[in-house]
């Protein structure tokens, strides 16, 4: 059961969360699900209706339910949110309405060798075009979330790493994008956003689970009792940079033997490139910004029955499985979700091998068989999660950034 917002959330946020997750509910059902009194629900719902966020929506006339109850639902067109997931090799943009339904989306190339200024300019142009095409007026956009790799300074909206290039280190990403879009922008870790998106937009069987996110790099997220585990400053669960026993490959983080360096898409592609005949057969090109495209070619070759491609992916999947064992042992989890564009084709292969590693090595395996799932939004989980985060947490009616500048 999704526990909306945990115990800290306000009654209004819990009501909005539940309506977003369930579609329509009566006041009586809201009281049952939140544990709040009928009077509190009535008093919480009234201003939400007055503000145009919630609408009455017919009656629940199902037999055996006594007096028909008026149903409530979110006013889908009240607000919208934009989710942008970006890394070196891919970009995904989604626009969600207030009910969390996707009304527009686009898949684009990643940042490539471009600097942050040029990237922000291009992203803003794509978002503008998407909003126009979907007919969403700018004043109905609550905000945007930019989901990307860590480590990050969420408060200042900056990356604390020189990846993908030196110009990105401490560049004011959210401020620059907010200025161009005219709406507030928040920064989010892509793996955390994906975990969050899976919880609210997918159908995980539990409110406590881990998520492994694989784009051109590897990240991790953990949901505990329905909330993202953030650590001190939202740079938690960097499972791609946990060194694995027997690993030796040097990593961008300065360490060696990290899961990302041993088993990430770049490592798989490098293995293919090391054998000229194999690289040619699989059409792997080794272009600097083409890691995921190359990884995809290997994945498709595996699906077509290529045994070398299978061996490379299985090796990677076993390493990821060992990273998953660490994740599960650290957080006492029994469910791991795989998300991110690298799992779009290979999800089933990784699921099988990660599950096998967990069944062999997870310390809690005797208590409950660990389960591994592929995300229901495998390729756009971080963008969807980012947009949902905006819908759930951005203050409605707060002064808009664009207006604040003029005031």
Give me the residues that bind Zn ion (CB under 5 A), please.
Answer: 241, 251, 253, 255, 258
- Find the shortest distance in angstroms from Cβ 261 to Zn ion: 6
Measured from the CB atom, is 253 or 374 closer to Zn ion? 253
Q: Closer CB to Zn ion, residue 100 or residue 164?
A: 164
- Residue 127 to residue 390: CA distance in whole angstroms: 15
Give min distance, CB of 243 to Zn ion, in A.
Answer: 8
Q: Which is nearer to Zn ion, 227 or 262 (CB)?
A: 262
| Cα 212 to Cα 90, 232, 341, distances in angstroms | 17, 20, 12
Q: How far is the CB of 257 from Zn ion (least distance, A)?
A: 8
Nearer to Zn ion, 258 or 383 (CB): 258
Rounded least distance, CB 151 to Zn ion, Å: 12
Cα–Cα distance for residue pair 183/185, rounded to 1 Å: 6
DSSP letter string, 255-283: -BSBHHHHHSHHHHHHHHHTSHHHHHHHT
Do 80 and 103 meet the contact criterion of CB atoms below 8 Å apart?
yes
Q: Encode burial over 198-234: b for 16+ CB neighbours within 10 A, e otherwise.
A: bbbbbebeebbbbbbbbbbbbbbbbbbebbbbbeeeb
What gap in Å lies between CA 249 and CA 246, rounded to an integer?
Answer: 10
Which helix (H) or strand (E) element contains residue 253?
none
Q: Nearer Cβ to Zn ion, position 217 or 226? A: 217
Rounded least distance, CB 242 to Zn ion, Å: 8
Place of tokens 């060992």: 322
Residue 247 C-beta: closest distance to Zn ion, Å: 10
Nearer to Zn ion, 80 or 149 (CB): 149
Structure tokens at 60: 């629940």
């Amino acid at each position: 059961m999704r526990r909306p917002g945990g115990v800290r959330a306000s009654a209004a946020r819990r009501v909005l969360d539940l309506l977003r997750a369930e579609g329509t509910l009566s006041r009586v059902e809201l009281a049952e699900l939140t544990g709040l009194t009928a009077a509190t629900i009535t008093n919480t719902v009234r201003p939400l209706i007055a503000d145009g966020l919630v609408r009455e929506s017919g009656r629940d006339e199902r037999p055996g339910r006594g007096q028909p109850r008026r149903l409530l639902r979110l006013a889908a067109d009240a607000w919208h949110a934009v989710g942008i997931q970006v890394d070196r090799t891919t970009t995904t943009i989604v626009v969600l309405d207030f009910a969390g339904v996707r009304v527009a989306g686009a898949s684009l190339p990643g940042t490539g060798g471009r600097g942050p200024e040029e990237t922000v300019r291009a992203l803003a142009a794509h978002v503008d075009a998407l909003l126009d095409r979907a007919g969403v007026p700018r004043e109905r956009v609550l905000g945007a979330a930019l989901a990307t790799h860590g480590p990050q300074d969420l408060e200042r909206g900056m990356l604390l790493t020189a990846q993908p290039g030196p110009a990105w280190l401490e560049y004011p990403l959210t401020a620059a994008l907010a200025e161009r879009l005219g709406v507030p922008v928040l920064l989010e870790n892509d793996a955390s956003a994906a975990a969050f998106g899976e919880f609210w937009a997918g159908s995980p069987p539990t409110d406590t689970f881990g998520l492994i996110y694989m784009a051109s790099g590897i990240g991790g997220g953990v949901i505990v009792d329905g909330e993202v585990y953030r650590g001190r400053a939202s740079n938690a669960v960097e499972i791609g940079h946990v060194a694995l026993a027997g690993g030796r490959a040097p990593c961008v983080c300065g360490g060696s033997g990290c899961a990302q360096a041993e088993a990430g898409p770049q490592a798989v592609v490098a293995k293919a490139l090391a054998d000229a005949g194999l690289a040619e057969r699989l059409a792997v090109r080794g272009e600097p910004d083409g890691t995921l495209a190359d990884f995809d070619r290997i994945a498709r070759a595996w699906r077509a029955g290529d045994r070398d491609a299978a061996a490379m992916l299985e090796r990677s999947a076993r390493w990821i499985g060992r990273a998953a064992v660490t994740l599960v042992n650290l957080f006492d989890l029994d469910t791991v979700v795989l998300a991110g564009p690298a799992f779009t084709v290979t999800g089933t292969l990784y699921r099988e091998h990660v599950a096998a590693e967990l069944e062999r090595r997870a310390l809690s395996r005797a208590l409950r068989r660990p389960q591994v799932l592929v995300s229901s939004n495998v390729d756009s989980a971080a963008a969807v999660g980012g947009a949902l985060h905006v819908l759930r947490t951005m203050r409605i009616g707060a002064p808009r950034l664009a207006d604040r500048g003029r005031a």
